[in-house]
């Protein structure tokens, strides 16, 4: 307990300079009082609680509970999780280089990354992990298996897997896994429009995007436009976002500024380099999973009228985090400021300083949203993410499709397909033919994938309400009849949703032969946002009208 008191005293001494500022005496007393209370509670739990406690685990729980009352992005990072932070920020970690997923009581190899250790030793999607370094893997969760597979670069891990009924043993030398922020770039179909997919804003992301753009321009000197795909990109390093904007706008342009409690730390981020191309038409694709740095790029290019934004409204994360070092090699990630893009707007959608009765952050109400102007005079708003210039709502996924994915039946069929087909057409040419789709339906005949449609769920609620209101005797037969008809119609759901399911099948099969690059390339020509982007880029008058060019 003496160590705890010294630790608490050190905290108090460490914050004493802060207490000399505004309301120093009141805040200082409040902090000191509550730290003493916390120390007393911790001491009494240790001395009096009926069972033995794990001090580290208990303290981590307390810290996490405290930080969770602030926002989801302010986190405590124990030394054991430092590798995860390294992955988020740097896009690298020590491991075997493969996605994994859990099905039933086992974890499976889902997708080895091309050219990395798992791929080098011949691990395949669908391999069931039986043992790791001699320890039984049955019953292990995905995080537990992931922890065992990760480790220092250069170290070895032995795993035993089952494939097609055969047991295989592999010794894998771990490497420093560096994920590519740009997994694919190329020209869309037979057009002169380039496409660049950016999955995360890790270190060197801007360099990778610049390299991709350079190669596209060298491959086709008549390139007429570029599509930057930020869909599903949850963000990352702010400086990489600024440098990506810099590829398309001149040097010394304000891209983003941060404002927080510590005024001395407020910063303005300007483009620092000569641009690569300030004239080429640009379309940026976003969706509800595009957040943070993705919103800085799309929002800044929108505010500067440098790109047309297509897709659905972005996530709305306008908060900036810093990672601060703590004692014993631990760290904490703290929200220190909000960011504001060139028009002056902040796109933060949730107000974590005001929460409802359930403890959930409230959305910024429409009445408090403020209008801002882009460089060319277009009206944009703060408080709810980046609103695209052309909105394309995501279509709802069918219940049967969700059931097939949830039960890994698309994944399992792809595994079986690869066993029967040594090769397929190039990624840009491969399609799910009627023959393949009929084979998939045959594959499903003895598989379980129960699901309930929205109509079935509504009927269930109706039945329950009718029982409560004592109408069930009068309408029970009608409900039964409707349920029978719906169940009968479900038998043809595979045909009704053939197009949607075929796209998923195609993507999964392509990944087995051509990795992530193939998965992306093969789905571009049927992608609604890509089709709309090409339409915009091929119509300069429409493109310029959207950006209000010539009207400032």
Q: Which residues are catalytic?
A: 292, 303, 317
User: In angstroms, rounded to a whole number, what is the distance separating the alpha carbons of residues 130 and 106?
Assistant: 8
Cβ within 8 Å of residue 118, ≥6 positions away: 96, 97, 98, 109, 112, 172
- State the Rg of the chain over Cα: 27
Token readout for 318 is 């306008």
Q: Which two tokens stand for residue 506?
A: 């195609």
Q: Are 382 and 347 in contact (CB under 8 A)?
A: yes
DSSP string, 399-432: HHHHHHHHTTHHHHHHHHHHHH-S--S-TTT---
Task: Answer for the pair 231, 288: CB distance below 8 angstroms, yes or no.
Answer: no
Contact (CB, 8 A) for 98 and 113: yes
Contact 113, 516 (CB under 8 A): yes
DSSP state of 125: T
* Cβ-based neighbours of 466, under 8 Å, separated by 6 or more: 472, 475, 476, 479
The two tokens of residue 138 are 């049955």
Retrieve residue 427's tokens.
């990624």
Q: Are 508 and 414 in contact (CB under 8 A)?
A: yes
- Long-range Cβ contact pairs of 509-514 (< 8 A, separation 24 or more): 509/414, 509/417, 509/418, 509/424, 509/430, 509/432, 510/424, 510/427, 510/430, 511/111, 511/125, 511/414, 512/124, 512/125, 512/414, 512/415, 512/417, 512/418, 513/418, 513/423, 513/424, 513/427, 514/427
CA distance 182 to 215: 13
User: What angle separates helix 2-19 from helix 24-48, to the nearest 10 degrees?
Assistant: 170
498-523 and 399-406 are packed helices; what angle lies between their axes, rounded to 10 degrees? 60
> What is the token pair recorded at 310?
């297509």
Residue 303, token pair as written in the block: 């505010």
C-alpha 220/C-alpha 421 separation (Å) is 34
- Helix H or strand E encompassing 435: helix 434-444
């Amino acid at each position: 307990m003496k160590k705890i008191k010294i630790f608490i005293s050190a905290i108090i001494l460490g914050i004493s300079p802060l207490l000399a500022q505004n309301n120093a005496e009141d805040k200082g007393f409040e902090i000191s009082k509550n730290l003493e209370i916390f120390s007393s509670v911790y001491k009494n739990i240790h001395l009096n609680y009926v069972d033995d406690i794990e001090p580290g685990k208990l303290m981590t729980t307390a810290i996490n509970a405290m930080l969770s009352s602030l926002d989801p992005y302010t986190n405590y990072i124990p030394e054991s999780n430092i590798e995860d932070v390294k992955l988020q920020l740097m896009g690298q970690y020590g491991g075997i280089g493969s996605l994994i997923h859990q099905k039933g009581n086992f974890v499976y190899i889902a997708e080895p990354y091309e050219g990395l250790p798992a791929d080098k030793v011949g691990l395949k999607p669908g391999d069931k992990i039986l043992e790791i370094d001699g320890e039984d893997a049955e019953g292990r969760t995905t995080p537990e298996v992931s922890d065992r597979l990760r480790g220092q670069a250069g170290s070895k891990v032995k795993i035993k897997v089952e494939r097609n009924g055969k047991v295989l043993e592999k010794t894998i030398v771990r490497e420093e896994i560096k994920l590519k922020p740009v997994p694919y770039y190329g020209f869309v179909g037979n057009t002169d429009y380039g496409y660049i997919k950016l999955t995360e804003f890790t270190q060197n992301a801007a360099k990778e995007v610049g390299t991709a753009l350079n190669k596209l321009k060298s491959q086709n000197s008549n390139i007429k436009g570029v599509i930057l795909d930020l869909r599903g990109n949850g963000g990352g390093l702010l400086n990489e976002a600024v440098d990506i904007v810099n590829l398309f706008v001149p040097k010394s342009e304000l891209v983003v500024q941060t404002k927080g409690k510590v005024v001395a730390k407020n910063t303005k981020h300007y483009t620092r380099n000569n641009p690569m191309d300030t004239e080429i038409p640009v379309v940026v694709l976003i969706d509800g999973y595009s957040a943070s740095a993705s919103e800085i790029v799309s929002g800044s290019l929108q505010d500067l009228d440098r790109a047309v934004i297509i897709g659905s409204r972005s996530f709305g994360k306008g908060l900036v985090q810093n990672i601060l070092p703590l004692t014993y090699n631990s760290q904490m990630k703290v929200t220190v400021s909000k960011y504001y893009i060139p028009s002056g707007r902040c796109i933060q959608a949730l107000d974590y300083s005001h929460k409802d009765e359930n403890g959930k952050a409230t959305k910024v109400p429409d009445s408090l949203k403020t209008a801002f102007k882009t460089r060319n005079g277009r009206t944009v708003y703060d408080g709810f993410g980046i609103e695209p210039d052309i909105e394309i709502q995501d279509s709802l996924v069918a219940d049967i499709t969700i059931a097939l994915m949830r039960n890994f039946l698309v994944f399992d069929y792809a595994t079986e397909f690869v066993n029967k087909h040594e090769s397929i057409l190039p990624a840009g040419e491969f399609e799910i033919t009627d023959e393949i789709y009929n084979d998939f339906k045959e594959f499903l005949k003895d598989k379980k994938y129960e699901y309930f449609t929205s109509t079935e769920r509504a009927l269930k609620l109706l039945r329950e309400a009718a029982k409560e209101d004592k109408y069930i005797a009068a309408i029970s037969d009608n409900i039964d009849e409707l349920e029978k008809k719906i169940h009968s119609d479900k038998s043809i759901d595979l045909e009704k949703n053939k197009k949607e399911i075929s796209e998923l099948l195609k993507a999964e099969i392509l990944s087995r032969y051509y990795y992530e690059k193939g998965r992306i390339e093969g789905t571009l020509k049927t992608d609604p946002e890509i089709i709309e982007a090409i339409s915009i880029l091929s119509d300069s008058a429409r493109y310029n009208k959207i950006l209000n060019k010539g009207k400032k």
